[in-house]
Structure 1
Amino acid sequence: MDITLLPSLHNLDFREWSELTNNTKNCIKFCENIGLIGFTLNEPYAQDHNNWNFGAYMYEHLMNIYDDADSAKLQELFGTKLYMSTSTTYIADQQRIFNISNENNNFQSLVNLFPIKQNEHRNYNCLDKAIRQLDFDFYNDLLPTIAKWASDHTQSKLIEPLQAHTTRTIVYTVAQARYILANAFFLNTIPGYGNIHLNHLYNSLFDVLASERIRCLIEYFRLSSQQNDNRQISIERYSYKSELPDWSKQNIPIESSKFNVFTGRMEDANEAQGFVDFANKHIHIHRIIPSATQEEVLFSCCPEAFLSILACETLEDDEIVILRGCKRFVEYTGYADTFAYQGHYHEQNPAYIQDILVMDACFSGQFTRTHIDRDLAKAWAAFYKSKDEIIVTGNWGCGVFGGDLTFKFLQQLCAAMILGDHFKRLDYSVYNDEQLASNLKNYLAKMETNKKTIADIYQMMIEYSEASELPASRRKFSDAFEQWLNSS
């Protein structure tokens, strides 16, 4: 394969991509040939994932490596539309009728419904594997229903996408969302700002994880076929630059009663009306791949959230998104490589559906003044705009984003404390980390005893940021914070 002749990448499957980028040298050459500068390989990943796996690494994560100029080039190459000023339905063939029998169907019956160009050189191994694991007759009991939904073009709706620097809301009915997702199942969608095309799940080298995500989507369809649901789903984009609080003037004392630190999963906080999505600025990395970050797990459990991938342009530093009405259908176990579909979700409080608060933390430089202010504002805006009285969150911006556990807790604490009397509680999951739970509870008690305010905490963060220009020479933040707290 001659990498100098490739006009576009978005039609490559994983095997073709692997052939293209089968070693580090080829990857660097590839980046040079498409005009991307300063390519550097994540060394720990390279040591553990050689040869073809690195092709998958590039395919899944390249969008997060580059600055805006290079990212724009990547989006162009991957076939993603950068500017979508016109309305669209996101459906490729809006006259397509998915004709299928109500009996005697099999895997080939399903594949025959895919567009011809998608059939070439693909065996859909992960889709086949996922269906084989089901405990019901998918081909005859559910597939005809999905085909009927995808063929019901009366549910087609022109949507004006949510561009950056705007505050605006779009609304879908449950039937309209199901129509789009059913067409995605049959590979009959086109990209918006992102792409919900499922080829990357259907044909994947990471077959276990891909199959588990496919099973989640099938469970959504199965449960939808049993329900008569009149919900509305809204995608709300907020640009809040003109509303930012002055953190240095927030002389509001910390109230420990407004925080519940616990070691269970975020999903265990069944009183919470808002659920924080530890988001990528390209929501759900603007595509659906065999991966299971917190955001990806959340979207697989609440598949109607996938619509935001299409409709939302990349989040700016002063923007958040709130998804309302996206019902949770799926229960799961694990995370990342251990993620697995477990069954349908049993609602403990069916009176309401949790809002999804889409807020992206900074990817690096968390202790710089700019990023301190950025992430404080992100958390505040998501909490404030949601108007939810109880919100569940956790180690936002940590994990692969590298955030400090104590630091990100304090940022979310500050954001919650200025919401006013209507805000009742922030449930804070430190999943299975008893020591962290103990530390955070002690911090809360001591901050309240010492009458610390939001302004005090903010000033401490800034002083820590300014203490040293060289990150390597800084003390660990938790050590600096404990010293500050104990010296008060």
Structure 2
Amino acid sequence: MAGLALELPEVCPKGIPLLRTGKSHSITLSQKQIACLLANAFFCTFPYRNATNPQAEYAEYPSINFHSLFGRWSERKMQKFRAIFHYFRVVTGAEKKEWKVPEGLVTFSREYISESSIPSWKRCSEHLTIVTISSEGTIEGDGQDMLQVDFACSLVGGGVLASGLVQEEILFLVHPELIVSRLFTEKLGDTECLRITGAQQYSEYYGFKDDFMWLDHHEDKTERDEWLRRKRQIVAIDALDFKNPKDQFHMKKVDRELNKAYCGFTGDRETHFYYPAIATGNWGCEVFGGDVQLKALIQMMAAALAQRKMAYFTFGDKELVQELWQMHHFLTLRKVTVGRLYRTLEHFCHALSKGNQRASELYNYIRTAVKDTTSSI
């Protein structure tokens, strides 16, 4: 690892550009370059990146040096180190002769939607696309050939270099090349996402949070595209963190989440050809306080506007599978447009603010509103 770190001047002879906010731009790195950069991150050689002062030069960037993993030992950190050291064993060929630094490329694309390009959700005439819903499987395991959603923090990678161990951190641990994005990706704005194409999976794992355990080597057999990138695309979209769950039922918050999801789900036609569907799940729920019914609808609406199918994983929640399937079936059977659904959400949020509805009654409210509209016609 030390030898790999020392190769940096030859492997990366120029400075790495920064993916700054308010602009769509991309960086493509070789997997060898990424390995060198991550070796330096492990040895904490990047200057000015440990500062916590809000006025510091890189205050709006995630940490990249691995210093926060050292000290205050825990079982979580031990499992993280097992995944990280396994990555370095593979790319340095430390244990097996057939292991060597992969020779492909990885592209990191920051995508920004300007104010003039934000959809008018109230007027959208698109209908919901096909959605498959399952309580079994995982986004990264069963979402091959799909656009895989990273339930991100605005500082990408979240707590991967600290104690965090939920969906985003696990994604970064089993695909360690994602970690290098923390070096150059400024904090994501409300209409921005980070799209990573070509990251390789190195590890198998089990569990979540305190149950997370590194298991073994993963032999990634994903094909490469014409740029020698693995045909795997991951999009980081950060949901709002709701300390008060009722706050998410204000339409400004709904608009923000719709725009964020749409930014992540849309893309050029070449991207759609390779990754025609979206693999996602309970985005922005649990620790972020999101309502699963509302967040699922928001993602369905964004996928409809992006003209992509969706595979939704509920991570073992069979009851949620039924709730979402019945709601989606109801809306598609009655050919409810995204605009009609948006206006219904507006009415519901207004009723909720007046105390005339409860958040748990969202789906029943939608059914009643749609049925009343249909019968009046």
Asked if Structure 1 and Structure 2 have the same fold, meaning a TM-score greater than 0.5 normalized by the shorter chain, the answer is yes
The within-5 A match list for 1:2-401 is: 146-152=1-7, 153-156=9-12, 157-190=14-47, 191=49, 192=58, 193-205=61-73, 207-224=74-91, 225=93, 226-241=99-114, 242-255=116-129, 258-263=130-135, 264-285=137-158, 288-347=161-220, 349-351=222-224, 352-364=230-242, 365-385=247-267, 387=272, 388-401=275-288
Residue type at the aligned position of 2:88: F
Q: Does 1:441 align with 2:296?
A: no
Alignment of 1:468-487 (within 5 A): 468-469=352-353, 474-476=358-360, 477-485=362-370, 487=372
Structure 2 CA distance, aligned partners of 1:473 and 1:293? Answer: 32
* Greater Cα offset, 466-475 or 434-443: 466-475
The number of equivalent residue pairs is 337
- For 1:287 and 1:267, locate their aligned partners in 2 and report how far apart those are by CA, in whole Å: 17
Q: What residue in structure 2 maps to residue 413 of structure 1?
A: 300
> How many Å apart are 1:471 and its aligned residue?
7.3
Following superposition, the deviation at residue 222 of structure 1 comes to 1.9
Q: How far did 1:458 drift?
A: 0.9
Classify the secondary structure of the residue corresponding to 1:245.
Answer: coil
- CA distance 1:302–1:251, change in 2 (3 Å): same
Q: 1:262 to 1:404 in 2, by over 3 A?
A: same
* Structure 1 pair 223–270 and aligned structure 2 pair: CA distance change class (3 A): farther
CA contact (8 A) 1:252 1:454 kept: yes
Separation in 1, partners of 2:221, 2:350: 47
Letter aligned with residue 393 of structure 1: T
One-letter amino acid matched to 2:119:
P
Assess, with a 3 A threshold, how the Cα gap between structure 1 residues 286 and 240 changes in structure 2: closer, same or farther.
farther
Aligned identity (percent) is 26
> Is contact 1:259–1:427 with CA below 8 Å preserved after alignment?
yes
Q: Distance in 2 between matches of 1:161 and 1:269?
A: 32
Confirm or deny: 8 A CA contact 1:391 1:427 kept in the other structure.
yes
> Does the 8 Å contact 2:128/2:303 carry over to 1?
no
Secondary structure of the structure 2 residue equivalent to 1:268: helix
Aligned partners of 1:327 and 1:353 also within 8 Å: no
Instruction: Indicate the residue corresponding to 1:453 in structure 2.
Output: 337
Contact 1:330 1:344 in 2 (8 A): yes
Q: Pick which of 220-229 and 238-247 moved more.
A: 220-229
Q: Which deviates more from structure 2 when the two are superposed, residues 468-477 or residues 293-302? A: 468-477
Q: Provide the rounded CA distance (Å) in 1 between the counterparts of 2:219 and 2:354.
A: 49
CA–CA distance in structure 1, aligned partners of residues 167 and 159 of structure 2 = 15
Residue 291 (structure 2) aligns with? 404
CA distance in 2 between partners of 1:291 and 1:393 (Å): 20
1:411-440 CA-to-partner distances (Å, cap 9, x unmatched) read 1111111223xx3x2111101011111111
Question: Matches of 2:31 and 2:221 in 1, distance apart?
Answer: 21
Counterpart of 2:334, as a letter, is N
Whether the 8 Å CA contact 1:187–1:199 is kept in 2: the answer is: yes
Amino acid at match of 2:80: R
Report if aligned partners of 1:210, 1:291 keep a CA contact under 8 Å in 2: no
Q: Distance in 2 between matches of 1:307 and 1:252?
A: 37
* C-alpha contact 1:180 1:189 (8 A) present in aligned 2: no
Report the CA distance between 1:479 and its aligned residue.
Answer: 3.9
> Residue 349 of structure 1: CA displacement?
4.1
Q: Post-superposition shift, 1:343?
A: 1.2
Distance 1:253 1:270, change over 3 A: closer
Aligned to 1:115: none
The Cα shift of 1:470 comes to 6.0
Which amino acid in the other structure matches residue 247 of structure 1?
W
Task: Give secondary structure in 1 for the equivalent of 2:158.
Answer: helix
Cα gap change, 1:340/1:481 in structure 2, threshold over 3 Å: closer, same or farther?
farther
User: Following TM superposition, by how much is the alpha carbon of 1:286 offset from its aligned partner in structure 2, in angstroms?
Assistant: 7.3
1:189 offset after TM fit, Å? 2.6
Give 3-state SS (helix, strand or coil) of 2:45's partner: coil
Post-superposition offset of 1:478: 3.6
CA gap 1:162/1:447 in 2 versus in 1, 3 angstroms:
same
State the Cα distance separating 1:202 from its structure 2 match. 2.3
Match of 2:175, as an amino acid?
C
Query: 2:291 is aligned with what amino acid?
Result: D
For residues 199-256 of structure 1, what are the alpha-carbon distances to aligned partners after superposition, in whole Å with 9 as ceiling and x for unaligned? 2222124x1000101111111112223135222122111220231111112112234x
Structure of higher RCO (CA pairs closer than 8 Å, 6+ residues apart):
2
Displacement of 1:380 in angstroms is: 1.0
SS, match of residue 312 in structure 2: strand
CA drift of 1:158 comes to: 0.5
Amino acid at match of 1:376: L
1:202 and 1:432 map into 2 onto residues whose CA distance is 34
CA contact (8 A) 2:122 2:343 kept: yes
For 1:356 and 1:181, the matched residues in 2 are separated by 19
What secondary structure does 1:210 align onto?
Answer: helix
Give the superposition deviation at 1:485: 5.0
* Contact kept? 2:158, 2:168, Cα under 8 Å: no
Tell me: CA distance 1:363–1:470, structure 2 relative to 1, closer, same or farther (3 Å).
Answer: farther
Secondary structure at the aligned position of 2:248 is classed as coil
